[in-house]
Amino acid sequence: MKEIRFENVCKSYGKTEVVKNLNLKINEGERLILLGPSGCGKSTTLRMLAGLEEITSGDLFIGGRRANDLPSGKRNIAMVFQNYALYPHMNVKENIIYGLKKQKVSKGEIQTRLAAALEMLQLKGYENRLPKDLSGGQRQRVALARAVVKQSDFFLLDEPLSNLDAQLRVSARKELLKIHDMFKQTFVYVTHDQVEAMTVGDRIALMYEGCIQMIDTPENVYHRPANIFTAKFIGSPSTNIVDIRFHDGKIMIGKQSFQLSSKWIHQINKSKADDLVFGIRPEHIELYKMPTKNTLSGIVKYVENYGNSYCIYIDIDGQEIIAMSEEKQWYPNEKVYIQPIMKKIHIFNKKTTNSIGYPEEMEKYAIVH
């Protein structure tokens, strides 16, 4: 049972609370991503788990054992930092095996693990180089190799790829997944990059200002955001969030209305929310040149070329809505008719900012934990 549990964990620096009442269970062998904007408390959380930061209140359990006061060296963890933290005066080989030598692992075993790590991370032939004579990608692989040879049960990674350029990041992601496939350690992976979170994670814990906003699979944080923050943070461009009124089965945006399906009407009535907020992702809007059934009319304000698609900024009675289009056929000041795809809409309670939930037949993405 090599799970990790945070129970009501708080962390304060003086009077400032930076992690607030964290409850999180990370299953054995799982890849859990801590995602969130800079300063939300991700590194602090990881450092508490690593034993590098004291827990102000609450309990941390590692493998069923209360670990609040367990020294870092006894937690069976390997950690990879954003800045690699390689020893500059040691060559690649020495950097990789330093921890093992300290742990008094036998010479033969050290050689076996070193050879495997060099092979796996394509570092053969670089054993004698100093970190300063390596590229960023190679340094990053050395940092990974150093963590891999420890063969720990828990692999903690703090923005391990953020110093790499886009192409290297893609290949490094694959390497990380390969490592996980081979050793099946529990991964706790900190990133502010949602693409990394989606591609690496079994589950994502999204944080904001020291609080967890949602913990779920990548599919669910995208398709079933629990609140407005999650809807806006996940996805690019961000989910359109629009204040609406609900009347007679229709949602009103400005002076226009959009008829909802009976399932959605039922869902809204069930929620008993007073004020509602409508959400739709830019990629879930159909655009038309002519009015068709259940469309809202707007004016194109601005068009951005993304290469594989165009991002269209549309004014609908004073509200800005962004839509994506694969075709180059939308130009500023033209009229456009938009239709949110009914199956892809989100509705939130304005007061709580939480989702009012989804009609039952649309639960296909939801995975119950």
Asked if residue 21 lies in contact with residue 56, where contact means CB atoms within 8 angstroms, the answer is: no
Which does residue 18 touch among ligand ADP, Mg ion, none (CB within 5 to 8 A, set by kind)? Answer: ligand ADP
Which does residue 41 touch among Mg ion, ligand ADP, none (CB within 5 to 8 A, set by kind)? Answer: ligand ADP
Does 13 bind ligand ADP (CB under 6 A)? Our answer is yes
Q: How far is the CB of 44 from ligand ADP (least distance, A)?
A: 3
Q: Which two tokens stand for residue 281?
A: 């992702």
Burial of 210 (C-beta count, 10 Å sphere; 0-12/13-18/19+): buried
Q: Which two tokens stand for residue 59?
A: 């309990």
Q: Which two tokens stand for residue 215?
A: 């913990």
Q: Name the residue nearer to Mg ion (CB basis): 162 or 309.
A: 162
Does 51 bind ligand ADP (CB under 6 A)? Our answer is no
Q: How many CA atoms lie within 13 A of 30 on its CB side?
A: 20
CA distances from 47 to 34, 63, 70, 300, 320 (A): 12, 17, 13, 47, 41
Listed residue (305, 301, 306, 303) closest to 318, CA to CA:
301
Using CB under 6 A, which of 9, 33, 40, 205 touches ligand ADP? 40
Report angle CA 161, 157, 228 to the nearest 5 degrees: 80
Report d(CA 267, CA 236) in Å as an integer: 27
Which does residue 40 touch among ligand ADP, Mg ion, none (CB within 5 to 8 A, set by kind)? Answer: ligand ADP
Map residues 25-54 to x or -, x wherever contact with Mg ion holds by CB under 5 A. Answer: ------------------x-----------
Which does residue 160 touch among ligand ADP, Mg ion, none (CB within 5 to 8 A, set by kind)? Answer: none
Local structure of 97: helix, strand or coil? helix
Q: How far is the CB of 22 from Mg ion (least distance, A)?
A: 15
Write the Ramachandran bin of 305: left for phi over 0, alpha for psi from -120 to 50, otherwise beta.
Answer: beta
Q: How far is the CB of 137 from ligand ADP (least distance, A)?
A: 23
Does 35 bind ligand ADP (CB under 6 A)? Our answer is no
Q: Name the residue nearer to ligand ADP (CB basis): 6 or 313.
A: 6
Q: Which stretch binds ligand ADP (CB under 6 A): 36-44, 58-66, 130-138, 347-355?
A: 36-44
Q: How far is the CB of 39 from ligand ADP (least distance, A)?
A: 4
Does 197 bind ligand ADP (CB under 6 A)? Our answer is no
Residue for token pair 């739709």: 280
Does 83 bind ligand ADP (CB under 6 A)? Our answer is no
Local structure of 62: helix, strand or coil? strand
Does 39 bind ligand ADP (CB under 6 A)? Our answer is yes
Asked if residue 68 lies in contact with residue 44, where contact means CB atoms within 8 angstroms, the answer is: no
Cis before 237 (ω within 30): yes
Does 87 bind ligand ADP (CB under 6 A)? Our answer is no
> Could you list the residues that contact ligand ADP (CB under 6 A)?
13, 18, 36, 38-44
Binding site for Mg ion (CB under 5 A): 43
